[in-house]
Chains A and B, each alone.
Chain A
């Protein structure tokens, strides 16, 4: 059963025909909720709590709501129309959306409470792009997947010069990494005119972290997989633009702490790949911008917010968190699940107490 496709059909049908009754809203509770970040977890929290009668405001740092759904996931996987329609639906129910507000800079969490918010949900995403830390990584033409995808998806660089944001269109594109974001990047590069779009991943096919369907789609579209391959350095020309990559072949050794077989370099197997665009898609770390400016939040050793796994409660009273800023890079579904659990717990708090 293609459950995902059936769900997609049902949602598309409803958006086109508007047959479902408008959800019923509980009478106002007089409680104010701030939702920080308008990605999948934040939108879920807002939707659940507005129906329970609370006064909900979403704060988004970008100029458009939607978070990763808008800046990260390409149009060909998730039409932006769907996201905007979802946000409009929330607004019609009474959710206020304030874009261009960076919580931690424009307003702090403390100030939200001073302004009369009774509870705060933090769903700011992971957001700090990881790099390989190898020579040549700061050459022009080497992007984080975050930047590459944000330029194309949010800023619509694929419509340049109609839209003002440019993007480097590579002929030979290397995407480093094997997750869903890497597949999105490699496919985007092909759609922007690449002749060769390579996925470079240090383990083998079995260990690819991307969903099998995404790998299948990428292959179908012509993405070439260079597995068991690890970048060593990037080369550039006199203008500081990337022209190639030196990589080394790997083989799988003993299992590491993650249970996957550890990739080990094969000595003397170095080779070069010509490339004029490199996308580093090896995951994200925790963006410290908000957590550093907020007192009373316990973070783990990697900077993610520590929460109660059932409720999403943080160590600070009145503050919940969910999504990638808790789990590290994960999926939209997991983030929505965390949002739903947090919304239930927030409702209990707002009506019964901490």
Chain B
């Protein structure tokens, strides 16, 4: 068992943080890599990007939003309990290099994935602008950590309850307009947000990395379930990614593939809610 040593609720209990004992993974994991978790015998294998590691304690941190049966099940695990299986680190690490000015854009729980990448980009000597957004103030996560990991943090909310009133793309556009020397944008969040950011940066001709979250089973290149079209070619997100050039990704195909099991997922989630209620 992989024990949960710390559990924290964020964004009004819609987002859960788990710090998990996994010394082998903690030792190896680099920013951008992910793990696959399975809660119990009957559980599904769920890929989640690593939000943090502590090599001394031998722990990794994951942060996830409760969206379906499996994440609902994960959210019921208490401190001291644990996951039956955790596999990783998987995928290619983010290529971290000193470029000059970079912008890190995060939406929703994508901010959790973005955090270690932002920190590493700053540590290597980039000037890091950071833009994070959420639907409203209460759903915003990791504001303090992102402030510390960047040089300038800009916050926006869809409803204007905090920071800039609007989407992360508005703020990103403003940054790109004012700074013509931005070398890289890293955008991580929901698919529509990554698509919008990539569309925008393409106009400005700024290289953009996105981190994709397709459905996976094994995570080691064996099943091909996570295939995405990048630059007209089929890639496996688990071994060729999860990060890709945002200007080349077919986001519409990704959205459709993510919905492949939408009916089954609903049924499974309803069964689970029924079970824990009664």
Q: Is A289's CB within 8 Å of the partner chain B?
A: yes
B233-273, CB < 8 A from A: 234, 239, 253, 256-257, 259-261, 264-265, 267-268, 271
Contact residues, B55-107 vs A (CB, 8 A): 69-70, 73, 84-90
Given contacts A101-B24, A240-B256, contact A147 B234 (CB under 8 A): no
Docked pose: A150 CA to B221 CA in angstroms: 13
Residues of chain B contacted by A206 (CB below 8 angstroms): none
> Is there contact, CB below 8 Å, between A61 and B268?
no
Whether A11 sits at the interface, judged by CB under 8 Å, is: no
Residues from chain A with a CB closer than 8 A to the CB of B25 are 106
Nearest opposing residue in chain A for B256, CB measure: A240
Check: B224 CB closer than 8 A to any chain A CB. Answer: yes
Can you list, as one digit per residue, whether each of A223-260 has a CB less than 8 Å from chain B (1) or not (0)? 00000000000000001110000000000000000000
**Per-residue 0/1 for B210-248: is the Cβ within 8 Å of any A Cβ (1 yes, 0 no)?**
000000011011111101110000100001000000000
Cβ contact within 8 Å between B221 and A128? yes
Q: Report whether A140 and B256 are in contact in the complex, using a CB–CB cutoff of 8 Å.
A: yes
| A101→B228 CA distance, assembly (Å) | 26
Residues A106 and B24 in contact, CB atoms below 8 Å apart: yes
Q: Is chain B's binding surface mostly helix, strand, loop or mixed?
A: mixed
Q: How far is the CB of B82 from chain A (nearest CB, A)?
A: 13
Asked if A107 contacts B256 (CB within 8 A), the reply is: no
Q: Which residues of A contact B234 (CB under 8 A)?
A: 131, 133, 137-138
Q: Which residue of B lies closest to A62 (CB)?
A: B218
Question: A126-144: which have CB < 8 Å to B?
Answer: 127-129, 131, 133, 137-141, 143-144
Contact status B86-A100, CB under 8 Å: yes
Q: How far is the CA of A239 from the CA of B262 in the complex (A)?
A: 11
B179 interfacial contact with A, CB 8 Å: no
Provide the residues of chain B in CB contact with A62, threshold 8 Å.
Answer: 218
Q: Is the CB of B24 within 8 A of A240?
A: no
In the complex formed, the residue of B with least CB distance to A133 is B234
CB distance from B241 to the nearest CB of A (A): 13
B163 contacts chain A at the CB level, 8 A cutoff: no
Q: Is A162 an interface residue (CB 8 A)?
A: yes
User: Do residues B89 and A161 form an inter-chain contact, with CB atoms below 8 A?
Assistant: no
Identity of the chain A residue whose Cβ is nearest the Cβ of B269 in the assembled complex: A161
CB<8 Å pairs between A and B, sample of 14:
A63-B45, A63-B84, A101-B87, A105-B90, A106-B28, A140-B257, A147-B224, A160-B264, A161-B271, A163-B42, A164-B44, A165-B44, A166-B265, A289-B220
Binding site for A on B (CB under 8 A): 24-25, 28, 38, 42-45, 69-70, 73, 84-90, 217-218, 220-225, 227-229, 234, 239, 253, 256-257, 259-261, 264-265, 267-268, 271
Interface set of A (CB-CB < 8 Å, partner B): 61-63, 99-102, 105-107, 125, 127-129, 131, 133, 137-141, 143-144, 146-147, 150-151, 155-156, 159-166, 168, 239-241, 287-289
In addition to A62-B218, A107-B24, A138-B253, 13 A-B residue pairs with Cβ atoms within 8 Å of each other are: A61-B220, A99-B85, A102-B88, A106-B24, A107-B28, A131-B224, A140-B257, A147-B223, A147-B224, A150-B217, A155-B44, A164-B69, A240-B253
